């Protein structure tokens, strides 16, 4: 499954219809919440009954209204997750006018005309859309989203058979393995020695976002000024999200195309994020998004438990403890002196290959992980010379 996000450019008239459609969905959503139906079946049965009384609901695509039950179920699940994490999540709330921003067309009720850049939606019409990437696979679902009250997007989900077929036919080439360390200084550092710095534009945008957030929290909740500040916050937030997504798509595609096997570390930032500010939680979200993208784009992606990857010497295995401020790994055992993130990525690769040795059946291999481990020792020796 891949989701593409395209900007929509509805006419003024279409925008009125879109807003009106979201209102209808919100009406259904709140009806489901009020009556606290348990299953999606119950909800959709209730919807049929509701339509008998409120015949204006017939003006909307019926499958789309049914998908509201999926949204209710999703919101409930999110609450449950929060509760599991120990938050006092409370009950599912009614949605206010600007809180219901998505309607979903599943399987039917839409049609995309890519050459002409239009998206047809049942009962809404033909909307201008900017299709900036080609769509691969069969379209399963289109979610229409309103952002910051005035921007519209279509999130198009396709199944993605092509990649799967490719990975069955071709054996995995373990020489094309890479370990990637993600961090704050360098967004990614890979075991071939390539560093991708954190994009400046994100850091630059974070400041206005923090400022907007502070402004909002100082105002009286629900007041006119609060809503103004909130709108501004949403706009900045969306701008960051778009640039970040762009950056992550490029980076993950690069790795998925270049390598057959990609190792990443499971993130260890629970405690980091909880007592941290906005900036950190955004980094966290972006690392998870990166992983998800790598996962669906790459042939093999494995997540490893983070055990001493920054501490261990990638060449001799000696423990070299270092604080976050120390940027270089210097081993007095074997003399290796390389960037700390590079050292970590080499450890990730090594651990990953050791794990895979156990898990991938011989017939699916072109080269065995052990052969590669030998090769990577040579690489490290070369790397040392550079430093």
Give the footprint of Zn ion on this chain (CB under 5 A). 313, 315-316, 318, 331, 333-334, 336
Nearest of 140, 70, 144 to residue 103 by alpha carbon: 144
Shorter beta-carbon distance to Zn ion: residue 33 or 331: 331
Give least dist CB 312 to Zn ion, A. Answer: 9
How far are the Cα atoms of 56, 154, 197, 264 from residue 341, in angstroms, in the given order? 60, 38, 12, 13
Give least dist CB 346 to Zn ion, A. Answer: 11
Is residue 379 a contact partner of residue 366, using CB atoms and an 8 Å limit?
no
Give least dist CB 183 to Zn ion, A. Answer: 21
Nearest of 350, 341, 349 to residue 264 by alpha carbon: 349
Shorter beta-carbon distance to Zn ion: residue 100 or 315: 315
Shorter beta-carbon distance to Zn ion: residue 83 or 318: 318
Q: Which stretches within the chain are classed as H helix?
A: 12-35, 40-53, 62-66, 68-84, 161-169, 200-218, 224-258, 270-274, 278-297, 340-359, 369-386
Shorter beta-carbon distance to Zn ion: residue 261 or 313: 313
As given in the structure block, the two tokens for residue 42 are 């119950």
Q: How many of the other CB atoms lie within 10 Å of CB of 328?
A: 12
Give least dist CB 279 to Zn ion, A. Answer: 34
User: Is residue 231 helix, strand or coil?
Assistant: helix
Is residue 369 a contact partner of residue 356, using CB atoms and an 8 Å limit?
yes
Enter the DSSP assignment of 96.
-
Calpha distance 63→205 (Å, rounded):
39
User: Is residue 130 helix, strand or coil?
Assistant: strand
Shorter beta-carbon distance to Zn ion: residue 278 or 334: 334
Shorter beta-carbon distance to Zn ion: residue 316 or 328: 316
Shorter beta-carbon distance to Zn ion: residue 26 or 315: 315
Give least dist CB 306 to Zn ion, A. Answer: 19
Shorter beta-carbon distance to Zn ion: residue 103 or 346: 346
Give least dist CB 381 to Zn ion, A. Answer: 12
Shorter beta-carbon distance to Zn ion: residue 197 or 335: 335
Calpha distance 184→318 (Å, rounded):
25
Whose tokens are 């651990």? That residue is 351
Give least dist CB 353 to Zn ion, A. Answer: 19
Is residue 46 a contact partner of residue 111, using CB atoms and an 8 Å limit?
no
Q: Which stretches within 59-131 are classed as H helix?
A: 62-66, 68-84
Cβ-proximal residues to 188 (8 Å cutoff; 6+ apart), any chain: 180, 181, 182, 195, 196, 251, 290
Calpha distance 196→241 (Å, rounded):
19
Give least dist CB 326 to Zn ion, A. Answer: 15
Return the CA Rg of the chain. 25
Give least dist CB 323 to Zn ion, A. Answer: 19
């Amino acid at each position: 499954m891949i989701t593409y996000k395209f900007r929509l450019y509805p006419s003024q008239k279409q925008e009125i219809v879109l807003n009106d459609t979201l209102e209808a969905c919100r009406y259904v959503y709140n009806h489901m919440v009020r009556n606290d139906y348990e299953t999606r079946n119950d909800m959709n049965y209730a919807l049929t009954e509701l339509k008998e009384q409120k015949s204006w609901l017939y003006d909307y695509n019926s499958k789309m209204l049914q998908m509201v039950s999926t949204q209710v179920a999703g919101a409930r699940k999110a609450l449950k997750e929060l509760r599991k994490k120990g938050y006092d999540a409370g009950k599912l709330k009614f949605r206010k006018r600007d809180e219901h921003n998505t309607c979903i067309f599943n399987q039917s009720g839409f049609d995309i005309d890519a050459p002409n850049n239009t998206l047809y939606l049942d009962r809404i019409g033909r909307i201008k859309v900017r299709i900036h990437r080609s769509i691969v696979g069969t379209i399963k679902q289109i979610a229409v989203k309103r952002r910051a009250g005035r921007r519209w997007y279509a999130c198009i989900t396709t199944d993605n058979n092509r990649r799967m077929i490719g990975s069955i036919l071709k054996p995995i080439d373990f020489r094309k393995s890479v370990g990637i360390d993600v961090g704050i200084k360098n967004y990614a550092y890979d075991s071939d020695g390539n560093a991708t710095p954190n994009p400046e534009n994100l850091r630059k945008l974070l400041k206005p976002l923090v400022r907007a957030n502070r402004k909002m929290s100082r105002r009286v909740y629900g007041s006119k000024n609060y809503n103004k500040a909130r709108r501004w916050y949403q706009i900045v937030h969306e701008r960051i999200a778009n640039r970040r997504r762009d950056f992550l798509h490029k980076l993950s595609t690069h790795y998925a195309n270049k390598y057959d096997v990609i190792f990443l570390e499971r993130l260890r930032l629970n405690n980091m994020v909880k007592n941290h500010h906005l900036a950190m939680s955004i980094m966290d979200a972006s690392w998870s998004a990166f992983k998800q993208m790598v996962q669906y784009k790459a042939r093999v992606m494995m997540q490893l438990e983070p055990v001493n990857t920054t501490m261990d010497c990638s060449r001799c295995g000696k423990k070299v403890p270092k604080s976050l401020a120390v940027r270089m790994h210097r081993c007095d055992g074997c003399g290796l002196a390389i960037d700390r993130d590079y050292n970590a990525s080499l450890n990730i690769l090594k651990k990953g290959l050791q794990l895979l040795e156990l898990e991938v059946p011989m017939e699916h291999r072109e080269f065995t992980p052990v052969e590669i481990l030998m090769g990577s020792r040579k690489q490290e020796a070369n790397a040392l010379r550079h430093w």
